[in-house]
Structures are given as structure tokens and as C-alpha cells.
Amino acid sequence: MIKGTFKRNTSGRIVSYEISGHANAGEYGNDIVCAAVSALAISAVNGIEALAGIQPILDVNHEEGGYLYVEVLADMTQEQMNIVQILLENLLLGLQAVQEENSEYIQINTQL
């Protein structure tokens, strides 16, 4: 099962997310749940870098896959923060939509 955790600060802003595990919803290379989660999660990182112009803290398991941790620091302009929050909220919405259709393979939650 894929597990995703989004952490919010006291202002309600998403400051990090962690995604781990494998969906096992299909054969390797044909797992659409895994593909959807991977595409959404990596797209958010790419958007943060390209559109907000900041480099988030990343921890990725390149050998086995199935693990991504992303954290954004508070040291950014208001415009950058707005862009980052839009991207992260969109990621959360996308993952929740995947979960609605595939709850046996993915679990997403948020924490303060």
C-alpha cells in the first residue's frame, strides 16, 4: 500500500509531504495507481523548482523506489509561498482523488 502524509504548520500551510510504499495494483510497469502517484508527486517537485524558483529538501530512495520526502523551508517570498501552496494543495487533491477510486492501494492523510 502507498501511504502519504502531508504536514501542515499552525497557519495551515503544507510544509512537507512523505510518500512511501508500493500500490501493488498491477504488474510492475503496469501499475496505474503507482504511475498516477509518481506522476503527481514528481510533478509537484518539478513545479516548485521551475515555477517558484526554489529547491525543496528532498529525500528519495533511488535504488528501490517507493519513497519520497519533500520539505519546503519558510525562507521564501510571499509570491513563492503562494505558488508552492497552490502546487502542494493541488498535489493533495490529486492524491485524494486517486485514493477515492483506489482506497485498497493508497492512504493519504494530513497532520498538523
Based on the residue annotation, tell me whether 96 is a catalytic residue of this protein: no
Catalytic residue among 2, 23, 25, 34: 34
* Catalytic residue (one of 7, 8, 13, 22): 22
Which residues neighbour 10 within 8 Å (Cβ) at sequence distance 6 or greater? 112
Helices (H), the chain: 32-47, 78-101
Verify whether residue 34 is a known catalytic residue.
yes
DSSP state of 21: S
Q: Would you name the residues annotated as active-site residues? A: 22, 34
